[in-house]
Amino acid sequence: MAKIAFMGAGSTIFARNILGDCMLSAPLRDSEIALYDINGKRLSESEAIIGAINEACGGHASIRSYLGAENRRDALRGADFVVNAIQVGLYDPCTITDFEIPKKYGLRQTIGDTLGIGGIMRGLRTIPVMADFARDMEEVCPGAWLLNYTNPMSILTGYMLRRTGVKTVGLCHSVQVCAGGLLEGLDMKEYLPGLNHTIAGINHMGWLLEIKDKNGADLYPEIKRRAFAKNRSEKHYDMVRYDYIEKLGYYCTESSEHNAEYNPFYIKSRYPELIEKFNIPLDEYPRRCVEQIKGWDEERRSIEADGAAKRERSGEYASRIMEAMLTNTPYKIGGNVLNSGGLIENLPKEACVELACLVDGGGIQPCYTGKLPLQLAAMNQSHINVHLLTIEAAATLKKEHIYHAAMMDPHTAAELSLDDIVSLVDELIEAHGSWLPKYR
């Protein structure tokens, strides 16, 4: 019987999907499940919903909740798998701070959870909590695998892999939906059966390097033709990534609202017309948070009603990974791992990269990719600079490395002077207060 600890179990929808998948898996359905959170109300709601799903699936699992940091070690004790889905600082106050203070400097964002000044600050306030998790795991479940779903993915997973002894893989569903979503958006769904594709790069900017139909024919020429035509004939939700196809030659994993802020090209105060041209939703993440908070009670009732409904496994990797390790049955994923040994030859070995991995009883074995096209490696490298500097700041508590990370961020550097960047960082550190450790 496996033990699964879910950190951030108050993320009810996500916990339902991951743990519901486990309850539909024969090797996992009798697991001991530890639900951990620091919010008692949300933890109680999740326990009720997960319990209802368990009963609907036969009641095989045992479920127990653990509230607060004082009970964290007990939640983790003896775990085989630890799923991380925490959000440190929540929407209010931290996300509000990450968006509103940069606006004063003329710096606009869409999501702010992966890169940019918002991603940097989110990483800096999350790493200390995950470092606490790591210390506990090294003592009470030293053999456990950490499955990290929390953003900023590359920063957090990279920190865990380089600065702790915890076996870690980062997981993001954008890999799973990338190729299929592209074909559906271009009315090419007939090519989905038997589709073959290769993705490699970094989280939220993994490149769709190859996409072929069941007979091995390259689909990119037709994709390029249709993407070019669609961007010029209509407004739609994926205009930035279609522009990548035209300008860089390749599509990437994460959405256009994310990628709009991952580079110096699209959100520019000197070119405000680009926002409309590429249909870029500024302040998208705060807007989603407000809507989710406003509609939570109704959504919770819907989830509760769904608890006893017949379920099918989701497309999330977590339960498949656990199953593959426990049964020694090979399974292929797109995972975030260290670039050890030059899996992607033209990215640094310290980088956290996203690529194909084989999972079995031996753990997770990343697959060699080779070299990325130079322009794609350059795009990834501009992110990796920020990842490594943010990790260095968190590990050393030196404020200068936060400045450096923000200076190297493509969007921030394209909009602000160096003096403004230093001032912005100082103001954000002060505003976040106790959500951050003391930097010197």
Active-site residues, by number, are 173
Retrieve residue 111's tokens.
Answer: 């999501």
Which one, of 15, 76, 48, 81, lies nearest residue 320 by Cα?
81
Distance CA 63, CA 85 (A): 18
Sign of the alpha-carbon torsion through 20, 21, 24, 27: negative
For residue 293, how far is the Cα from the chain centroid? 21
Residues 6+ apart with CB under 8 A from 98: 109, 112, 117, 118, 121, 122, 428
**Strands, E assignment, 68-119:** 81-84
Retrieve residue 438's tokens.
Answer: 């003391």
DSSP characters over 334-403: EEEEE-TT-SBTTS-TTSEEEEEEEEETTEEEEPP-BPPPHHHHHHHHHHHHHHHHHHHHHHH--HHHHH
Sign of the alpha-carbon torsion through 29, 34, 36, 40: positive
Distance CA 10, CA 46 (A): 6
Residue 352 · residue 366 · CB < 8 Å: no
Q: What is the DSSP letter of 332?
A: E
Residue 427 · residue 102 · CB < 8 Å: no
Q: What is the DSSP letter of 226?
A: H
Q: Is 168 helix (H, G, I), strand (E, B) or coil?
A: strand
Residues 6+ apart with CB under 8 A from 319: 18, 21, 22, 24, 25, 28, 313
